[in-house]
Amino acid sequence: MIKGRGIKFGVIGTGAMGKNHGRIASTLAGLNLVGVSDINLPSAEEFAAPLKIKAFGDYKDLLPLTEALSIATPTLTHFSIASDCLNAGRHVLLEKPFTGSAATARSIINLAQQKGLILTAGLIERYNPAFQRLLKEIKGEKIIGVDIKRLSPFPERIADTDVIFDMMLHDLDLLLQIVPDEIIDIQAKGEKIRTKMIDRAIVSLTHKSGTISRIEASRVFSSRTRKITVTTEKFLIEADLLNKTIYIRDFSSPTPSTLPVKPVDQLTEELKDFIRSIKQKGVPTISHNDILRTLTLAEEVKKAC
């Protein structure tokens, strides 16, 4: 199935995120970007022209040219488009918030498994080098608390979902990697500020191990912040996901130290992982179980707001 210069690859949706997928895919050795599609055909054509690839207004016309696709369209279209791609025998990388619900996610995961195809989610922060270094540093440590902040000014693009599924979803996914044990209590508050959906949410989670986690997400803040602070019995460590830095303070020393973080492009790493999974018929970094756990937790947080 994999011939020529690489996996024949297409991108559905040429908004900001879709263009990023296409731009990076066009540079990767393991992919052969053959085309893009968007219901706004001029947008697809404008992106495709300098790359000398095909552009379509209907994604179904793109499918015969491809072996794998990224889907970066409005959330409400994710389930139907991903289903069509899987039924056509194509591997799929579906941008967050995946299908937007655990029930629909379970349905297309079952479809992918029946077809023997790779299906993963665009939870790009998992590939953040600062997060990867954080996981390495806390391995084997007893975690007392976790505090995560993801704050941004109001987006220019029109949000088609609330801040929990638009932004906090990343941090729920990361939290489940930091503290994988059962969550026994959720306390949450959500505020509608600029839209008819929740624009700011704060959640406190109690884990069976006794760890307390707090996550704040806002898309109506004055500036951008992406930070994870983990308190263990021995030290406090902070990962700045925006600036790709790690600060650690041992409780025996008042002076924090900085740990080196190797810079990488997260979307590049995500697409490389997708390529590897297809070629090796392996499990992607973002597994089906990860997707279902994260979406289920997001639904529970929203219900608690």
Residue 68's pLDDT band (cuts 50, 70, 90) = very high
For residue 95, give every residue at least 6 positions away whose Cβ sits within 8 Å of its Cβ, in sequence order, or none. Answer: 13, 17, 70, 71, 72, 73, 78, 121, 122
Residues of the chain within CATH 3.30.360.10 domain(s) are 125-264
Residue 70's pLDDT band (cuts 50, 70, 90) = very high
User: What's the rounded mean pLDDT across residues 189-217?
Assistant: 96
Residues of the chain within CATH 3.40.50.720 domain(s) are 7-122+267-283
**The domain 7-122+267-283: what is its CATH number?**
3.40.50.720
* Per-residue pLDDT, 158: 61
* Per-residue pLDDT, 255: 82
Kindly report, residue by residue over 113-138, the tens digit of the pLDDT: 999 999 999 999 999 999 999 999 99
Other CB atoms within 10 A of residue 17 CB: 20
The CATH number, out of the four listed (3.90.1010.10, 3.30.70.260, 3.10.20.70, 3.30.360.10), of the domain defined by the range 125-264: 3.30.360.10
pTM of the predicted model, to two decimals?
Answer: 0.94
Residue type, 152: S
Q: Would you say the C-alpha torsion 267, 290, 115, 84 has a positive or negative sign?
A: negative
Query: In angstroms, rounded to a whole number, what is the distance separating the alpha carbons of residues 119 and 81?
Result: 13
Please state whether 89 falls in left (phi above 0), alpha (psi between -120 and 50) or beta: left
Kindly report, residue by residue over 278-291, the tens digit of the pLDDT: 999 999 999 999 99
